[in-house]
Amino acid sequence: MDVKTIMLGFLMDNSMTGYELKKAFSLSFSFFSGISYGSIYPALKKMEGEGLITMTHEIQDGTPNRKVYTITDKGKEIFRDSLREPISLEPKRDSFLMQLIFFAHLSPAERIKKAKQRLESVRKMQSALESLWPDIAEHADQYQVLCYQYGLRHVRDLVKNVEVVVRALEEIPVHKKGSTSHPRNGGSI
Give the tens place of pLDDT for each residue, 90-110. Answer: 777 788 999 999 999 999 999
**What amino acid occupies position 24?**
A
- This prediction has a pTM of 0.71
pLDDT for 45 equals 93
Class of domain 3-84: mainly alpha
Residue 53 · residue 8 · CB < 8 Å: yes
Angle at 61 between CA 56 and CA 64, to 5 degrees: 55
Output phi, psi for 71, to 5 deg: -75, 145
Residue 162 · residue 154 · CB < 8 Å: no
Give the tens place of pLDDT for each residue, 148-177. Answer: 899 899 999 999 999 999 999 999 886 655
* Residue extents of the structural domains in the chain: 3-84, 95-185
CA-atom Rg of the chain in angstroms = 22
